[in-house]
Structure 1
């Protein structure tokens, strides 16, 4: 039996029908993805922590609103630092090493929050969890994209966004039932699962090939594809791409703007701009106040919002490899424009006191159309495409840049949202509608369809 197994690849290379009859096993791909998205769940737990715990933390530690606002917002600054360092760390110690480091930072942060008796330790803990978030936001989708076969890559990478949404929603729910210190301990659970899971899954084959570990590269690829799969074609394609890229000089940050890389950088960074500056974090962070302003019960609206987000993000992950990235982005962008315009109309009617009876219904409809549309494409797909379009020799620097732009956009939108609302509630959503219209044009002109192609094929077509 052992001799037959070792000879199988040699036979299948010469017989196309036998090659097609051997289907690779995806068990290890699914297991590796599950372990990786524990990082996504840890990300969502960090993001969702501050909302349900605000009143209890302020009361227990005698904090002012300004002090709590600092505690909440410092998460984003930690994430920006994590974004800057995530690419170099993942390139130096590997994707698994970066995930371990991120888990350690998050766990340290949660412990600091749990034991905090004053503001300094509390804020340091929040900063540490933010740093872990920043690293997770880059490494998880990149790791999944590098280990997944091309027919499953979209669905598995989109699971990143699904787990973030699920963790945020779960934090909202259980955060109202448990003490804030206990909720901090619960935040450590996905980090612990991830660290333990790292012992049972392989490293990214593409990273191993890039670092010259040829034996480990083939072992990892065979582990992921199954013992009976013929990995020769995929291994050769990866190796050829790596060898071509290795002939190029070492890439620094400013080298990303060279002509050979410009299109992939524009696509990856541009999609992050489209995702964040279309208003998602302002609307997400202030959903309750938007519903209240429109006269709709905030608690009911928030629950509906969370449930709809999880359901649609799940459907997006299931159909991403069938429908394709670009069509879903265009449908998503169109829905975002429509949702913003409906919400703008509701606030316009309220401002000028026309048809006040329909204002709450319009506001809820607009917000739900917006979140359904965001979850259907613009939420997950920019991360999927970012993980696909960067060649491995620039993936660290380019991925760090794209992730930093994403987190800066998250901070800028959430910081300016209330100021814009006080200036003009309906004008705010008209601005977001205009930005989302620009996103549609960007997707049509710049973003390629990557469905059903290997990473090497995608990068060769973009960067020549």
Structure 2
């Protein structure tokens, strides 16, 4: 995490003092390296330091904080210059870098490298001085010992028959999420609003920010009550509807329909975008996710030149396919142990929903 912060700080400083586009590209590359590392390491760290009964809530709050930070950046971007915004971006990186000096290392990582004393010290710091950590520390040591006796896994092992369902679900969700256009729309929201007929992109951006945080908070609250599969399907369906509305907005503009209708459709469509989708499978899924994000973000402007409304209808189709994908292949994880989830993954590539219904 500290190395990631250094990458981000360096990237922001390159942008602040940029003299030409090369400096901007290098700065964005450095920030990309930092964010890419953080996007994988932070959830792992959170899962390793939190008690098992709070792990889901902590992971969900992490997503909420990401949404709040991104929304704040969007809001600030409507009233300050991009160089000033880059200076602002340095602040949280420095704050986290200093904060890392006083937070403990992951107890599970310390157990993995054989530092039993440091493990107990870190765990005591995390749980509080008065808490009895002996049982939890023993469980961590026991589990780590069992892991070390297992054969070393390789990336190619993921494609064995036993794991192909899990890989299909994890990678499939990330591919469908990214090619559904969520990141492209977030990155180019201001331009989309202007193209759709807004006099300025700021109004639409602020409206998007105002809706994004409460919707993400709602997703956090509903995560354990409604279950993961229903939220995934509602999110994908909502994104599909949003893309259709934005596509209709551009189609309306091209055919010179009522201007007020264009603006209303674009605003409604963008505001629907969605509650976070998450996948697992470690670095492979993270790599697929960021690669998909880069491809769609890079191609987005070219797609708009090809057909503005066609681009969003294409995104809507992919989001619609996501609903079908989740219904047929993604198992529910609510109230299930890791062993039960793994068993449902390993069974076969047949629809899991019917099996879940029979079990219920």
Query: TM bucket by the smaller chain?
Result: 0.7 to 0.9
CA distance in 1, matches of 2:109, 2:343: 18
Q: What SS is found at the alignment partner of 1:199?
A: coil
CA distance in 2, matches of 1:195, 1:400: 23
After superposition, the Cα gap between the structure-2 partners of 1:440 and 1:210, relative to the gap in structure 1 and judged at 3 Å, is farther
Q: What SS is found at the alignment partner of 2:198?
A: coil
For structure 2, list consecutive stretches of 5 or more residues without a partner in the other structure: 348-360
- 1:203 to partner: Cα distance: 2.1
- 1:130 to partner: Cα distance: 1.6
CA distance in 1, matches of 2:79, 2:239: 33
Q: What SS is found at the alignment partner of 1:110?
A: helix
Matched residue, 1:341: 244
Tell me the alpha carbon deviations over residues 64-114 of structure 1, each in whole angstroms, 9 at most, x when there is no partner: xxxxxxxxxxxxxxxxxxxxxxxxxxxxxxxxxxx0111111122223333
In the alignment, structure 1 residue 123 sits paired with structure 2 residue 25: yes
CA distance in 2, matches of 1:229, 1:453: 28
CA distance in 2, matches of 1:447, 1:332: 14
- 1:229 to partner: Cα distance: 4.7
CA distance in 2, matches of 1:425, 1:243: 56
CA distance in 2, matches of 1:146, 1:454: 17
- 1:256 to partner: Cα distance: 2.2
Matched residue, 1:295: 197
Matched residue, 1:197: 99
Matched residue, 1:435: 318
Q: What SS is found at the alignment partner of 1:150?
A: coil
Report if the CA contact (8 A) 1:287-1:302 is conserved: yes
After superposition, the Cα gap between the structure-2 partners of 1:206 and 1:447, relative to the gap in structure 1 and judged at 3 Å, is farther
After superposition, the Cα gap between the structure-2 partners of 1:258 and 1:168, relative to the gap in structure 1 and judged at 3 Å, is same
After superposition, the Cα gap between the structure-2 partners of 1:123 and 1:367, relative to the gap in structure 1 and judged at 3 Å, is closer
Matched residue, 1:111: 13
After superposition, the Cα gap between the structure-2 partners of 1:355 and 1:190, relative to the gap in structure 1 and judged at 3 Å, is closer
After superposition, the Cα gap between the structure-2 partners of 1:310 and 1:332, relative to the gap in structure 1 and judged at 3 Å, is same
Report if the CA contact (8 A) 2:197-2:259 is conserved: no
Q: Name the structure, 1 or 2, with higher relative contact order (CA <8 Å, separation 6+).
A: 1
Matched residue, 1:269: 171
In the alignment, structure 1 residue 403 sits paired with structure 2 residue 276: no
After superposition, the Cα gap between the structure-2 partners of 1:312 and 1:324, relative to the gap in structure 1 and judged at 3 Å, is same
TM-score (norm 1): 0.66
The count of residues paired between Structure 1 and Structure 2 equals: 346
Coordinate RMSD, CA, aligned: 2.9
Candidates 134, 150, 170, aligned match of 1:248: 150
- 1:355 to partner: Cα distance: 5.7
1:276-287 aligned within 5 A: 276-287=178-189
- 1:280 to partner: Cα distance: 0.8
CA distance in 2, matches of 1:291, 1:159: 30
CA distance in 2, matches of 1:340, 1:399: 29
Matched residue, 1:413: 296
Matched residue, 2:209: 306
- 1:142 to partner: Cα distance: 1.8
CA distance in 2, matches of 1:152, 1:227: 19
Report if the CA contact (8 A) 1:156-1:317 is conserved: no
Tell me the alpha carbon deviations over residues 29-80 of structure 1, each in whole angstroms, 9 at most, x when there is no partner: xxxxxxxxxxxxxxxxxxxxxxxxxxxxxxxxxxxxxxxxxxxxxxxxxxxx
For structure 1, list consecutive stretches of 5 or more residues without a partner in the other structure: 1-98, 387-397
CA distance in 1, matches of 2:120, 2:146: 19
Which structure has the highest helix share of the two? 1
Q: What SS is found at the alignment partner of 1:312?
A: helix
Q: What SS is found at the alignment partner of 2:100?
A: helix
After superposition, the Cα gap between the structure-2 partners of 1:249 and 1:454, relative to the gap in structure 1 and judged at 3 Å, is same
Matched residue, 1:359: 262
TM-score (norm 2): 0.83
Tell me the alpha carbon deviations over residues 356-415 of structure 1, each in whole angstroms, 9 at most, x when there is no partner: 65332222212212x1xx1x2xx2x41xx42xxxxxxxxxxx422211111111111122
After superposition, the Cα gap between the structure-2 partners of 1:282 and 1:183, relative to the gap in structure 1 and judged at 3 Å, is closer
- 1:226 to partner: Cα distance: 3.7
After superposition, the Cα gap between the structure-2 partners of 1:432 and 1:348, relative to the gap in structure 1 and judged at 3 Å, is same
Tell me the alpha carbon deviations over residues 108-152 of structure 1, each in whole angstroms, 9 at most, x when there is no partner: 222333344455444333321221111111111221122223343
Report if the CA contact (8 A) 2:75-2:205 is conserved: no
Report if the CA contact (8 A) 1:222-1:231 is conserved: yes
- 1:452 to partner: Cα distance: 5.0
